[in-house]
Amino acid sequence: MSASQESLPGEAPAQPIGAEPERYRFFSTKLHRLVSYREDGAVYVREVGGDWVRTRASAETEAIRAERFARAALAITALPAWARAIRDLPSMVEIERWSTDSVVEATDGEEVEPDGHSSDGAPSWLLALGVI
C-alpha cells in the first residue's frame, strides 16, 4: 500500500497528536474511516484528507475501558482481513488520481479495476472508501 506512515506537509499525522498509546487500529467498513482505540479508552477516527478526531473521551473507569476494549475486539474479529490490516489511508492526491484511472490500488496494494477486488479479496480503495 502506498499510504505512508509518516505525515507529509498538509496531511494528517499517522497518530493523533498527544494521544495515549494505541491499543487497536482498523479500517471501519461501516464508517469508511480509520479507527484508533487508545490505551486510555479514547477513540479517534480519521477520514482521507482529514485529521484525527476524538469521538469518545477517555474512559472514566477501568470497567468502562475494559468494556470498550471488549466491544472493539469483538467488532474487529468480524472484519475482513484486509480491514484489520490497514494502518493508514491514501492521500487525497491518490484518490483524485484513481478517480480518473482505469487501474487503481486495492487496500492490499494490488492493482485492480476501480470497482474491483484483489486476488485476496481486498477491495479497491475507491470501493472501500465509498467513493464508488
pLDDT digit string (tens) for 75-106? Answer: 999 999 999 999 999 999 999 999 999 999 99
**What pLDDT, on a 0 to 100 scale, did the predictor assign at position 15?**
77
- Dump pLDDT digits (tens) for 2-36: 443 334 444 556 777 778 899 999 999 999 999 99
- Dump pLDDT digits (tens) for 109-130: 999 999 999 999 999 999 999 9
- Dump pLDDT digits (tens) for 56-69: 999 999 999 999 99
**Band of pLDDT at residue 54, cut at 50, 70 and 90:** very high
> Which three-class secondary structure string do you get for the chain?
CCCCCCCCCCCCCCCCCCCCCEEEEEEECCCCEEEEEECCCCEEEECCCCCCEEEECCCCCHHHHHHHHHHHHHHHHHCCHHHHHCCCCCCHHHHHHHCCCCCEEECCCCEECCCCECCCCCEEHHHHCCCC
